Amino acid sequence: MERRDEQAIEAVKLYYQQGLSQAEVASRMGLSRPTVAKLLAHGRERGFVTIEIHDPREDASEIAERLEQRFGLACARVAHGHDMAEDEAIEQVGRLGAQVAAQLVRDGMSVGISWGRTMSALAAHLTRAPRVGVRVVQLKGGTSFSERATHDFEIMRSFCEAFDAEPRYLPLPVIFQDTAMLSIVRRDRVIERILEEGRCVDMAVFTVGALGREALSLNLGQLEDAEVDALLRDAAGDACSRFYTCEGDIALASVDRRTVGITLDELRARPVRLLVAGGRLKAQALQTALHMGLATHLVVDQDLALALLERQGGATPNGVLDGTPLGWEHLSNNSLTHINCTA
């Protein structure tokens, strides 16, 4: 081996392995600093050392592409970062979700929104992006009968301020005490018009909820204890407060009949459906929702994305367990055309 190669190897070891500065390497080897710089360059050219740059944003982009392929999504975005606490994951997803929402909202659109922690985080990160003729429609009731708050009005206000939009508030509880009372309320023409607008929005922005004793959807003072127990036993999660099983079926029909807002079939029929979710605890709820075809666009944190890709199988819109990627384009025509939407 030539003397120059030997010197280059010694220099790259001191510089890259031991972390010495070029001046320190020069002092150690009894050489000038410019000579050390040339030896380091020679070492790289000869392949004695290779430099690899690991950009976590590239990992997130690759994971997003895998999600798009797995679930037939038009677009997926992943907030990069490993082992984030749930609050941090939701915050990062909210930040990225706000960017995606702003890219998707166009002049003249009607935008339906839900509520929840992730939706609150998204709304908090929205910045002014004025549009013309945009309407923001509340997709489900948000009145609480407990100390827990949905922050539905605050989320609506943030969206309207960001896009110079007209609001369509739905000032109702999301789950009524009985179907008779719900029927009476729905006779109000203003309420029915808002519900109809929600069924026909151009774009829906929503999240999914994982079920546990502390889940917001179960603690609004609108469910009996027996109903909570049944949902904890049978439901995989909820989207727009519509509880579904791992097979993609309605988890508890008696509750679903009392629920105010867009149904899962109506949600699935919307042209653009942006689903935002943060935290690994939502893996089962999100996987089922994606296999049901509820989303066209997805924003998640990196840990949740990896958890999704590690899982196998899921519910199809026909209620059949399947490991095949399924997107909204696979839905039957019947499930897309039974909603009567008028301009």
Residue that wins the pLDDT comparison between 56 and 94: 94
Asked if residue 50 is part of any domain, the answer here is: no
Cα distance from N-terminal residue to C-terminal residue, the chain: 80
Residues 295 and 315 placed together within one structural domain of the fold: yes
CATH of the domain at 133: 3.40.50.1360
**Is residue 326 domain-shared with residue 239, that is, in the same domain?**
yes
Q: Average pLDDT, stretch 325-333?
A: 34
Model confidence over 16-73: pLDDT tens digits? 888 899 999 999 999 999 999 999 999 888 888 877 655 555 558 899 999 999 999 9
| The predicted structure's pLDDT at residue 58 | 52
Spell out the alpha helix ranges (H) of 187-315.
Answer: 189-199, 225-234, 253-256, 264-268, 283-291, 302-310
Q: Are 39 and 70 members of one domain?
A: no
| Residues 27 and 120 reside in one and the same domain | no
Residue 11: give the domain boundaries.
Answer: 3-45
C-alpha to C-alpha distance for 133 and 126, rounded to whole angstroms: 18
Residues 143 and 111 reside in one and the same domain: yes
Structural domain total, the chain? 2
Can you tell me the distance from the alpha carbon of 64 to that of 322, in angstroms, rounded to the nearest whole number?
21
The answer to whether the beta carbons of residues 335 and 312 sit under 8 Å apart is no
Amino acid in the structure at residue 151: H
Average pLDDT over residues 261-267: 97
Contact 84, 92 (CB under 8 A): yes
The reply to whether 65 falls in a domain is yes
Give me the percent of the chain exceeding a pLDDT of 90.
78
Can you give the pLDDT at residue 52?
62
Q: Does residue 12 form part of some domain?
A: yes
Task: Give per-residue pLDDT as tens, 148-185.
Answer: 999 999 999 999 999 999 999 999 999 999 999 999 99
CATH number at residue 30: 1.10.10.10
Whether 147 is in a domain gets the answer: yes
Q: What is the pLDDT of residues 70-93, one digit of tens each?
A: 999 999 999 988 889 999 999 999
In a domain, 267, yes or no: yes
Residue 273 is assigned to a structural domain of this protein: yes
Domain for residue 343, yes or no?
Answer: no
